[in-house]
Chain A
């Protein structure tokens, strides 16, 4: 009996995947709520007005949940033992996705890090950056061995 490792992890740790995906989805408005009581109103209006960015951000959040759960699962089980190699790319993908998000120019802490012209540029090309971050997380999942078939006793197939 063979099964893809990622599918196994999702079956064994569904709550952790969901919790991490929900965490990533709401982390931006939660941080903004320290700054303004309008944070969640802004977030949901942004999602509503920018459906492409929103869809990509939802996919990104779900993949983040899968990647971190897979990382923890693989690390604990030492499956393929390549988790440290994937960590850097996973963090890079997460940071890009989190920082670019739905509308980087609409959240002022981005403006503190980059000039206004750069945040307007990031906003204009946000879907491309989101696709890039999704690709990086998928690559990280691949590096952890998430797409490899494993047998029921968790042996990796050559």
Chain B
């Protein structure tokens, strides 16, 4: 019985570690240069329409001309909060206007006031926030902390689901700035 339990626990831990590492960077398996609309790196990102509680309607073309960092999250997602703080620090260090940030909240129970409070606490005033459950479905978001980066023409350059470390931001954004 002991052997079975130890084997079961070992297998479970190995599975979880493998999954944790395997899903770390879907962009590795999504290298493509086709300029078709789609959700892979190199594709033209699908259109979306959201409503920021303070800035009104947001569509994808609003962000043309600058890179766009999209963060799918919920206000209680702790790794996302830390990632947003790292992104805010990077934003500050690059003048606060070098790229756009769109935070898409995907828990239907959360409210605009919660989004605004979240932005005050973890983001920056010029960031866009909006509820976007349909957008999350269209973008096949499976995890909180999913991130997309578009270039200035709206082409997907990076997709990631790992907690956003400060050191991982510059290699993604600096070639686009």
- Shortest CB-to-CB span from A121 to chain B, Å, is 10
Q: What is the interface of chain A, defined by CB distance below 8 A to chain B?
A: 31-32, 34-38, 41-42, 45-46, 49-50, 84, 87, 91, 103, 105-109, 111-113, 115-116, 119-120, 123-124
Binding site for A on B (CB under 8 A): 1, 5, 8, 13, 16-17, 19-21, 23-24, 74, 76-82, 106-107, 109, 136, 141-145, 161-163, 165
Decide: B107 and A46 in contact? CB cutoff 8 A: no
Tell me if B165 and A108 are in contact (CB < 8 A).
Answer: no
A50 to chain B, nearest CB (A): 8
Given contacts A34-B20, A105-B74, whether A87 and B1 have CB atoms under 8 Å apart is: yes
Given A49-B76, A112-B23, A123-B76, decide whether A36 and B165 contact each other with a Cβ distance below 8 A: yes
Cross-chain contact of B78 among A106, A116, A124 (Cβ < 8 A) = A106
Contact A106:B162 (CB < 8 A) given known A35-B24, A87-B5, A111-B142 = no
Contact B17 A31 (CB under 8 A): yes
16 interchain pairs (CB within 8 A)?
A34-B17, A34-B21, A35-B17, A35-B20, A38-B82, A42-B82, A45-B78, A84-B1, A105-B144, A106-B80, A106-B145, A108-B143, A111-B142, A112-B19, A113-B19, A119-B144
Q: Say how far A98's CB is from chain B's closest CB, in angstroms.
A: 9
With known contacts A41-B82, A45-B78, A124–B109 Cβ distance under 8 A: yes
Q: CB distance A111 to B82 under 8 Å?
A: no
| Bound CA span A142–B23, Å | 40
A109 touching B79 in the complex, CB below 8 Å, given contacts A35-B24, A120-B74, A124-B109: no
